[in-house]
Structure 1
Amino acid sequence: MILLEKVGLNVMLTPAGEEPVRNTEAILAAIERAESDLATSHQRAHGVITVA
């Protein structure tokens, strides 16, 4: 499987090389969402309060 191809003095991703990039972008976006959810969960009041 060829991921890069030479174009003049440069290299470019082949369609097969672009696939891991798309997958990585999706993974990083999911991690960012999870981190954001975790950060906001600390700001929410939760638990049980008993007044006697």
Structure 2
Amino acid sequence: MRCLTCNEIIESTTRHDHNTCRCGNVSVDGGRDYLKRSYPSGDPSTWFEELAE
């Protein structure tokens, strides 16, 4: 995912590989096993761009 606040791209490559962008607004977890996205409340499209394939 790409954080729309700090523009950093973060990814999770393995299960339980939790990563957070440098500004701390969005996080990703799950690798290819599952998709877990964390972000402040509200519309997710205001916080991040989904880049999962």
- TM-score range (shorter-chain normalised) is under 0.3
Relative contact order, higher structure (CA 8 A, sep 6+): 2
Q: Which has the higher helix share?
A: 1
Q: TM-score, normalised by structure 1?
A: 0.21
Q: Which has the higher strand share?
A: 2
> Is the radius of gyration larger for structure 1 or structure 2?
1
Q: TM-score, normalised by structure 2?
A: 0.21
